[in-house]
C-alpha cells in the first residue's frame, strides 16, 4: 500500500462523533492483509501446507485455518476464500510478509504464484439488532447485492459466508454469535473503499477499530500476532472448535503434533475470555500470573471495554491454573464463568 493511499484511507476512517442508537457502524480494519494465491496447482498446494481441508472449500464460504511449524505451533491464522481458480488468504498484516516467505519455501516446481495484494484496505461494517431488517448503507449496486446475498447466508463456527463482487472486492460475513448484529468485512482497493464510505447514507457512523475487536473477542475468535507466533498449538486457541484443522486429509506441517494431541491426549491449555478493570489493553503475549507468581498463561488479544474502565481479553490459560486467582500486570483477571471449564467456550454453550 502506498503511503499516500494509506494516509488518505486512514484519515477518512478516523472516528468523529458518538454514534446514534441503532446506527450502522463503519470501521477501518488496519491489521488485515490479503495474500493472493493463483496457478493451476494452487488448491493442491494450499491443501498440502495448511491445516484446513482445502479440497472441501467452496466459493460460497471462507474457512479458518493456520500455517504451522513442524512442531505444530501456529505461525499465523488465515481466513481462506476461494474464487474461480485462485484463493485469497486474509491474515494479520504484520505477519503477511513472513507467511508469504514461508509458503514460498514449499512451492518448489509447482504451478503456483503467491503475492501480497497491493493498495488494499479492509472495511468493517456492523449492523445492530435483527438481521431480518438489514439495509445496505452504500450507494453501490454491486456492494448492496453482495450484502444481500450474505444476509441470507448462515454463518457457522469457523465458516464465513463469502462473496467476491463484480469489482473483485471480497465480502466476508464474520459474526459467530447469532444474537449479535451482522458483521461484514470488505477487502478491496483503498480508493474503491473510500468511494464506498463517502456514499454511505445517514444513519451510519465511523467508529474505532475497538468495536470490531470487542465483537471478535466476544465471538472467541483467536489471533496470532508477531508477539505470539509459534506460541500456540491449534487446540490451545480452540481451533478445533472452529473446525480450522483436518485430521483426515493427510500430512501437512505440524499435523503429527496436532493429531497426537487429539487422539492420544488432551490439551493442557485452552482459550478463555475475561476482563481486567483499570488496565489498558495488554499486548498479545503479556503473561498471566497466579497468586504464587507462576506463569499461568498469556494474552492472545485484547480491546478496551466500552466505558474504558478496563480491558476485554482473550487468554490462553494452563488448565491446572484455571481456578487460581489470576492477574495481568498485577490487576485481577476475571474469566467469563461460562468459559471456565475444560474444553473452552463453545462446549460451555454460551457467549457474552
Looking at every residue in the chain, the average pLDDT score rounds to 91
Which are the contacts of 3, defined by CB distance < 8 A and separation ≥ 6? none
Tell whether 169 and 307 lie within a shared domain: no
Whether 266 maps to a domain, the answer reads yes
Q: Tens of pLDDT along 100-132?
A: 999 999 999 999 999 999 999 999 999 987 655
What angle (nearest 5°) sits at the alpha carbon of residue 106, between those of residues 91 and 265? Answer: 70
In this prediction, what percent of the chain has a pLDDT beyond 70? 93
Does the CA dihedral 182-183-189-191 come out positive or negative? positive
Identify whether 317 is part of a domain.
yes
Question: Which region holds residue 101: left if phi is over 0, alpha if psi is between -120 and 50, else beta?
Answer: alpha
Helix (H) or strand (E) holding 126: strand 120-126
Task: Determine the pLDDT at residue 349.
Answer: 35
Claim to verify: residue 11 and residue 89 sit in the same structural domain:
no
The DSSP element (H or E) to which 33 belongs, if any, is strand 32-38
Are residues 278 and 319 located together in one domain of the fold?
Answer: yes
Domain containing residue 7: 3-30+119-218
Confidence of residue 1 (pLDDT cuts 50, 70, 90): very low
Name the domain boundary from 74, 89, 116: 116
Do 127 and 56 fall into the same domain?
A: no
Is residue 185 classed as helix, strand or coil in its secondary structure? strand
Report CA 335 to chain centroid distance, whole Å. 21
Q: How many domains does the chain have?
A: 3
Same domain as 148, residue 62: no
Prediction pTM value: 0.93
Last residue of a domain, one of 96, 116, 136: 116
pLDDT digits (tens, 9 = 90+) for 283-300: 999 999 999 999 999 999
Amino acid at each position: 500500500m502506498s503511503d499516500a493511499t494509506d494516509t488518505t484511507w486512514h484519515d477518512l476512517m478516523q472516528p468523529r462523533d458518538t454514534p446514534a442508537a441503532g446506527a450502522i457502524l463503519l470501521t477501518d480494519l488496519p491489521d488485515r492483509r490479503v495474500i493472493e494465491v493463483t496457478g493451476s496447482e494452487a488448491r493442491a498446494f494450499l491443501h498440502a501446507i495448511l491445516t484446513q481441508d482445502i479440497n472441501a472449500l467452496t466459493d460460497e464460504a471462507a474457512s479458518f485455518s493456520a500455517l504451522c511449524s513442524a512442531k505444530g505451533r501456529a505461525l499465523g491464522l488465515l481466513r481462506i476464500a476461494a474464487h474461480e481458480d485462485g484463493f485469497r488468504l486474509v491474515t494479520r498484516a504484520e505477519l503477511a510478509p513472513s507467511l508469504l516467505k514461508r509458503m514460498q519455501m514449499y512451492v518448489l516446481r509447482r504451478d503456483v504464484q503467491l503475492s501480497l495484494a497491493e493498495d488494499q484496505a479492509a472495511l468493517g461494517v456492523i449492523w445492530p439488532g435483527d438481521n431480518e431488517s438489514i439495509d445496505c448503507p452504500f450507494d453501490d449496486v454491486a456492494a448492496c447485492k453482495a450484502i444481500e446475498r450474505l444476509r441470507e447466508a448462515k454463518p457457522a463456527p469457523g465458516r464465513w459466508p463469502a462473496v467476491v463482487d463484480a469489482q473483485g472486492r471480497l465480502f466476508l460475513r464474520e459474526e459467530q454469535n447469532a444474537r449479535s448484529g451482522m458483521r461484514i468485512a470488505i477487502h478491496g482497493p483503498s480508493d474503491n473503499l473510500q468511494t464506498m464510505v463517502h456514499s454511505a447514507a445517514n444513519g451510519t457512523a465511523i467508529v474505532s477499530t475497538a468495536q470490531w475487536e470487542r465483537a471478535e473477542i466476544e465471538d472467541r475468535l483467536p489471533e496470532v500476532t508477531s508477539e505470539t507466533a509459534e506460541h500456540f498449538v491449534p487446540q490451545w486457541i480452540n481451533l478445533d472448535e472452529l473446525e480450522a484443522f483436518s485430521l483426515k486429509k493427510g500430512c501437512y506441517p505440524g499435523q503429527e503434533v496436532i493429531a497426537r494431541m487429539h487422539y492420544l491426549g488432551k490439551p493442557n491449555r485452552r482459550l478463555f475470555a475475561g476482563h481486567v478493570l483499570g488496565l489498558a489493553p495488554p499486548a498479545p503475549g503479556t503473561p498471566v500470573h497466579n497468586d504464587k507468581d507462576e506463569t499461568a498463561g498469556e494474552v492472545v488479544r485484547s480491546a478496551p471495554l466500552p466505558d474504558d474502565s478496563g480491558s476485554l481479553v482473550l487468554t490462553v490459560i494452563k488448565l491446572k491454573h484455571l481456578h487460581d486467582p489470576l492477574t495481568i500486570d498485577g490487576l485481577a483477571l476475571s474469566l467469563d464463568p461460562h468459559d471456565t471449564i475444560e474444553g473452552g467456550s463453545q462446549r460451555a454453550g454460551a457467549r457474552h
